[in-house]
Amino acid sequence: MSMKLNMFLALGLGLWLSGPLLATEQKATIKVYGMSCQMCANGVAASVTNLKGVKSAEVRAKEGEAIVVYDDALVTVEQIKQQIDRSGFSTKPKSK
Ligand SMILES: [Cu+2]
């Protein structure tokens, strides 16, 4: 079998295997730093749920975390984190 055909088969198999897995609902708990009250948390939640693919976001200021339910075929955790960073908070602890 040629190398090219092997690659083609491997890719096809990969797509076939990952297909059903791509459109699943995922739940991620993301650390959010800088929130001081529930108003902050509400702002983060509103911002995150604006993202396409995000089903819901439960943000707790006290715990400093966002529990996000999303469709991983439409949005990634990385994009959700970027959105949180854009909304004025941080997903990474501040370095001293
Ligand atoms: Cu606040």
What is the residue extent of each domain of the chain? 23-96
* Full-model pTM: 0.74
Task: Give the distance (Å) from ligand 1 centre to CA of residue 91.
Answer: 16
Q: Write the CATH number of the domain with boundaries 23-96.
A: 3.30.70.100
Task: Give the distance (Å) from ligand 1 centre to CA of residue 43.
Answer: 9
* Alpha-carbon span 15 to 89, nearest angstrom: 36
Task: Give the distance (Å) from ligand 1 centre to CA of residue 6.
Answer: 56
Per-residue pLDDT of the chain (96 residues; tens, 9 = 90+): 677 777 777 877 777 766 555 568 999 999 999 999 999 999 999 999 999 999 999 999 999 999 999 999 999 999 999 999 999 999 998 766
